[in-house]
Amino acid sequence: MAQKPSIPKGTRDFNPTEVAKRNYIIHTIKAHFERFGFQPIETPSFENSETLMGKYGEEGDRLIFKILNSGDFLNKADAKAYDSKDSNKITASISEKALRYDLTVPFARYVVQHQNEIEFPFKRYQIQPVWRADRPQKGRFREFFQCDADVVGSSSLWQEVEFVQLYDTVFSALKLEGCSIKINNRKILSGIAEVIGAQDKLIDFTVALDKLDKIGEEKVKAEMLEKGIPQSGIDKLQPLFSIEGDFGSQIDQLKSILNTSEEGKKGIEELEFINNGIATLGLKTATLQLDVTLARGLNYYTGAIFEVSAPEGVAMGSIGGGGRYDDLTGIFGLKDVSGVGISFGLDRIALVLEELNLFPETITNTVKVLFINFGEREAMASMKAIKQLRERGVSAELFPDNKKTIKQFNYANKRNIPFVVLLGESELESETYTLKNMISGEQDQLSFEEMLQQLS
């Protein structure tokens, strides 16, 4: 019996128009990555499980897609787990490979594995799909593309400056104007935790603070209290909740909060360097904003933390993020290699461009001209002309069957093919081509060279 075809939850087919739109974004990102000196690498879709497991926390481990071993895998299954039917414990013994969960851990693995072939600082970009067994929702899929640029092997803050420029450049090139590039620094968060006496509760503290936008000041405070942060500490936070003004004046307020924390002061210094660089160099259409509540994958980042929001009025989570991580490659045995990087969220960017109607109208990958098929002799003559057009760079095709002309015209219309050529008996005789512009309806009888000119 025939199956009713479908695809797995959270995955997508892309039709030619969708592919063209996605490629428009990818090509824009790539072009600017390369202009900024990043070079592409590619890593396998699946990695050895031990490369990925334990790198993304318990939740991450759960969301990693595991690949079943080939052959008689049950034969090698962990006997105890098998007897107790423990899905969790049996996994490692029946699955040795897993699909890439992000591009960062495979990149760290790559750097360590190929460290002797790499010149540091190593500026790489990588645009590949990743897979997560997450619950699908708007803008979140089980297969999606990440577009990452990272530098490893230098702790220079010029790189943070460059990444802010890179975000601004790419989003401006995509005509997505008015994005907010939010920046924070792990050292600021550590400093604040220190000042309020919650060093040992840094995670709880930042998780709560990160929710300020969503749940408001009072609930954030309540959560902190609940997590064991003393009321006296929370009181010291008060200035943080009312922090405002431009980058410089926010920095000043932070200075007064953090004046007793060495780490906090270091964080301020870093922020000032980046802000100063950006102020001097200028941004095209985005703005750089300090956001002391920004935490993201805190455990991971050790310095700058970035996140990009779409222009105001567009309801969409972050469309990019990143930061500095001082010891990513340590997990694979290469110590003291500082890294910093950013990621572009392709799928969400596509949704935003769609919503704001920002895809250029010229995006298309439709063939330029269709030759109507009037039968074998005419088709052969058409194929000769088509061959020459293609050699001159014009995409062209013959309607393969000698169907009614109206049907062939309908096909051209529905596929949005802009030109149609009629090469019938009379044209064959006069060695001309009747070229019809499908948009204007205009029709001309032309020589090959004249036709070529119109199509080029």
Helices 186-195 and 247-257: crossing angle, nearest 10°? 40
Residue 346 touching its own copies (CB under 8 A): no
Question: Which token pair is 214?
Answer: 């969503």
Q: What part of residues 412-431 is at the interface with its own copies (CB under 8 A)?
A: 414-415
CB atoms under 10 Å from CB of 428, counted, come to 15
Residue 186 touching its own copies (CB under 8 A): no
- Around 149, how many Cα atoms within 13 Å sit in the side-chain half-sphere? 24
Q: Which is nearer to its own copies, 139 or 277 (CB)?
A: 277
Q: What 3-state class would DSSP assign to 310?
A: coil
- Asked whether residue 301 is marked as a ligand-binding residue, the answer is yes
Given 62, 80, 175, 255, the residue binding its own copies (CB under 8 A):
62
Q: Which is nearer to its own copies, 288 or 379 (CB)?
A: 379
DSSP strand pairing (369-371 vs 143-152):
unpaired
Q: How far is the CB of 217 from its own copies (least distance, A)?
A: 38
Question: Which token pair is 408?
Answer: 């062939």
Residue 269 touching its own copies (CB under 8 A): no
Residue 207 touching its own copies (CB under 8 A): no
Given 136, 139, 156, 297, the residue binding its own copies (CB under 8 A):
156
Select from 205-213, 319-327, 331-339, 354-362 the region that touches its own copies (CB under 8 A).
331-339
- Asked whether residue 102 is marked as a ligand-binding residue, the answer is yes
Q: Which is nearer to its own copies, 386 or 422 (CB)?
A: 386
Residue 183 touching its own copies (CB under 8 A): no
Q: What part of residues 99-118 is at the interface with its own copies (CB under 8 A)?
A: 99, 109-110, 112-114, 117
Select from 162-170, 184-192, 216-224, 433-441 the region that touches its own copies (CB under 8 A).
162-170
- Cα 7 from chain centroid? 23
Q: How far is the CB of 168 from its own copies (least distance, A)?
A: 11
How many residues bind its own copies (CB under 8 A)? The answer is: 110
Residue 28 touching its own copies (CB under 8 A): no
- Cα 217 from chain centroid? 32
Beta-bridged to residue 366, according to DSSP, are: none
- In the numeric block, the tokens 């290469």 are attached to 334
Select from 32-40, 250-258, 304-312, 432-440 the region that touches its own copies (CB under 8 A).
32-40
- Asked whether residue 296 is marked as a ligand-binding residue, the answer is yes
Contact criterion met (CB below 8 Å) for 421 and 451: yes
Question: Which token pair is 197?
Answer: 């006496």
Residue 222 touching its own copies (CB under 8 A): no
Given 42, 226, 262, 336, the residue binding its own copies (CB under 8 A):
42
Beta-bridged to residue 425, according to DSSP, are: none
What does the per-residue mask of binding to its own copies show for 279-318, with x meaning CB under 8 A?
-xx-------------------------------------
32 DSSP 8-state letter: H
Q: What part of residues 244-263 is at the interface with its own copies (CB under 8 A)?
A: none
Q: Which is nearer to its own copies, 129 or 311 (CB)?
A: 129
E strand or H helix that includes residue 274? helix 262-281
Q: Which is nearer to its own copies, 295 or 417 (CB)?
A: 417
Residue 136 touching its own copies (CB under 8 A): no
Select from 205-213, 221-229, 390-398, 439-447 the region that touches its own copies (CB under 8 A).
390-398
Given 27, 48, 355, 437, the residue binding its own copies (CB under 8 A):
48
Of residues 416, 314, 415, the one with CA closest to residue 358? 314
Pinpoint the alpha helices (H) of 154-199: 158-173, 186-195
Q: What is the distance between the alpha carbons of residues 206 and 190, in angstroms, rounded to a whole number?
A: 9
Kindly report the backbone phi and psi dihedral angles of residue 316, in degrees, each rounded to the nearest multiple of 5, phi listed first: -160, 140
The angle at the Cα of 393, spanning 390 to 397, to the nearest 5 degrees, equals 35
- Asked whether residue 132 is marked as a ligand-binding residue, the answer is yes
Residues 6+ apart with CB under 8 A from 145: 22, 26, 127, 128, 129, 130, 346, 347
What does the per-residue mask of binding to its own copies show for 347-376, with x meaning CB under 8 A?
------------------xxx--x--x---
| First-residue to last-residue Cα distance in the chain | 49
Question: Which token pair is 365?
Answer: 């990958």
Annotated binding site for L-histidine, which residues?
A: 102-104, 132, 146, 150, 296, 300-301
Annotated binding site, which residues?
A: 102-104, 132, 146, 150, 296, 300-301
